[in-house]
């Protein structure tokens, strides 16, 4: 059972773009990532990265831009869409828009969807400085609903200088979940730091709210979320690759050995993400 092949979708990876990141973000990634130390600038080749991740059992990987010029970095959506063309049947590019620096973020998101492919949206409240329930942000969610895109939001502490944690208190997502019941809302990092309970509560209250476990130590997931088995419909696997101290394969196997039912494990590692990304039934989910 422990050696059964695992089907894995990685809902949370970042592209290798040292020159687009803030210097402190890049230093942090270098300090924790064995993949960066081992492969270095070969990771600029997205086809090479797809090969590495496939060799670790990953079937598909979401790739996240970050349009956060005042904090973590400025990896634009255009860049990620272009990189993902190296392996279009493997990578799933997301978009990143910034409510404070883009004059019409919802319009920009619609443009990305038109020119795409784009499979979801990443928002960074603590790096972009807005509360997710501000009414000025709502047109962005309307565009997501219109195009069937999930929204992934950074929710949790971070070592990136300039982070303002108050913006990612998960309580603000309660409004969004109520006002957009058709919008899948994924809380990246599950409230890392001191909001694990709040995230678990939101995910169990709202059928459209999910937790992504990127950046969490997999062997500690049951400490953070004691009701993980019951929450299994609402949790997706993500690695934060390449900013991770182990490997994607290691993390997936640790989750598979937590003692959860095999059904819960499959949901967390694969099925929930497949559903959120429109990959069920063998479809590509592109251009939705």
Q: Which residues are near Zn ion by CB under 5 A? A: 240
Cβ neighbour number for residue 230 with a 10 Å cutoff: 12
Between the alpha carbon of residue 76 and those of residues 17, 127, 129, 168, the distances in Å are: 10, 15, 17, 21
Of 106 and 187, nearer to Zn ion (C-beta) is 187
Q: Which residues pair with 8 in a beta bridge?
A: 58
Of 160 and 228, nearer to Zn ion (C-beta) is 160
Residue whose C-beta lies closest to Zn ion:
240
Least gap, CB of 286 to Zn ion (angstroms): 23
Least gap, CB of 120 to Zn ion (angstroms): 13
On whether the CB atoms of residues 236 and 213 are closer than 8 A, the answer is yes
Q: Write the DSSP assignment of 94-126 as a string of letters.
A: -EE--TTT-SSHHHHHHHHHHHS----EEE-HH
Of 141 and 241, nearer to Zn ion (C-beta) is 241
Least gap, CB of 32 to Zn ion (angstroms): 12
Least gap, CB of 142 to Zn ion (angstroms): 25
Least gap, CB of 240 to Zn ion (angstroms): 4
Pick the closest to residue 104 from 58, 156, 130, 143 (CA basis). Answer: 143
Beta strands in 86-231 (DSSP E): 91-93, 95-96, 121-123, 151-156, 185-192, 209-212
Per residue, what are the HEC states of 28-95?
A: HHHHHCHHHHHHHHHHHCHHHHHHHHHHCCEEEEEECCEEECCCCEEECHHHHHHHHCCCCCCEEECE
Query: 91 CB contacts (<8 Å, ≥6 apart)?
Result: 46, 50, 60, 61, 62, 63, 83, 84
On whether the CB atoms of residues 277 and 60 are closer than 8 A, the answer is yes
Of 237 and 260, nearer to Zn ion (C-beta) is 237
Least gap, CB of 62 to Zn ion (angstroms): 10
Of 93 and 260, nearer to Zn ion (C-beta) is 93
Least gap, CB of 3 to Zn ion (angstroms): 29
Of 177 and 213, nearer to Zn ion (C-beta) is 213
Of 174 and 240, nearer to Zn ion (C-beta) is 240
């Amino acid at each position: 059972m422990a050696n059964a092949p695992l089907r894995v979708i990685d809902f949370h990876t970042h592209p290798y773009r040292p020159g687009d990141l803030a210097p402190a973000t890049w230093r942090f990634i270098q300090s924790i990532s064995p993949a960066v130390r081992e492969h270095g600038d070969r990771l600029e080749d997205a086809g090479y990265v797809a090969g590495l991740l496939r060799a670790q059992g990953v079937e598909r990987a979401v790739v996240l831009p970050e349009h956060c010029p005042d904090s973590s970095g400025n990896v634009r959506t255009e860049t990620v869409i272009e990189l993902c063309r190296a392996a279009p049947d493997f990578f799933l590019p997301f978009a990143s828009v910034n409510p404070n620096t883009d004059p019409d973020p919802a319009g920009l998101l619609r443009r990305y969807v038109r020119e795409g492919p784009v499979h979801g949206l990443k928002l960074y409240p603590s790096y972009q400085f807005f509360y997710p329930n501000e009414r000025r942000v709502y047109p962005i969610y309307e565009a997501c609903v219109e195009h069937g895109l999930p929204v992934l939001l950074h929710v949790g502490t971070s070592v990136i200088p300039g982070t303002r944690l108050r913006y990612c208190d998960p309580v603000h997502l309660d409004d969004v979940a109520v006002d957009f019941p058709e919008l899948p809302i994924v809380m990246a990092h599950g409230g890392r730091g001191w909001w694990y309970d709040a995230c678990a509560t939101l995910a169990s209250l709202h059928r459209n709210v999910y937790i992504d476990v990127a950046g969490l130590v997999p062997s500690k997931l049951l400490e953070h979320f004691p009701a993980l088995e019951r929450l299994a419909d609402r949790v997706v696997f993500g690695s934060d690759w390449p900013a991770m101290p182990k490997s994607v394969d290691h993390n997936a196997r640790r989750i598979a050995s937590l003692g959860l039912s095999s059904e819960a494990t499959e949901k967390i590692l694969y099925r929930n993400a497949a559903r959120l990304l429109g990959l069920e039934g063998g479809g590509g989910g592109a251009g939705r």
